[in-house]
Amino acid sequence: MKVKIHGIYKHFKGNYYIVEDIAIDSESGEKMVIYRGLYDNNELFARPIDSFSSLVDKNKYPECNQKYRFELQDIFSKNNIK
């Protein structure tokens, strides 16, 4: 799954996040997703891109309806509706 910078994603537990950017870990060279919570105090988080894009563990979370840990949301501006 390609991660969209400035895309709004829903975590499988229900909260929404905006992807700020992709960073490179200076020690390992691993790509990291930098994302901000769209709730409470808007904390900034970092997670390896493989983990961000991973499938939900259906054995651990059988009630979950999402396929992926984070799923891109189709959110459109009212200004773009005619």
Task: Write out the chain's pLDDT in tens, 82 residues.
Answer: 899 999 999 999 999 999 999 999 999 999 999 999 999 999 999 999 999 999 999 999 999 999 999 999 998 777 765 5
Q: Is 37 helix (H, G, I), strand (E, B) or coil?
A: strand
The CATH fold assigned to 8-73 is: SH3 type barrels. (2.30.30)
Q: Is 81 helix (H, G, I), strand (E, B) or coil?
A: coil
**Count of C-beta atoms within a 10 Å radius of residue 69:** 21
pTM of the model: 0.87
Locate the domains of the chain by residue range. 8-73
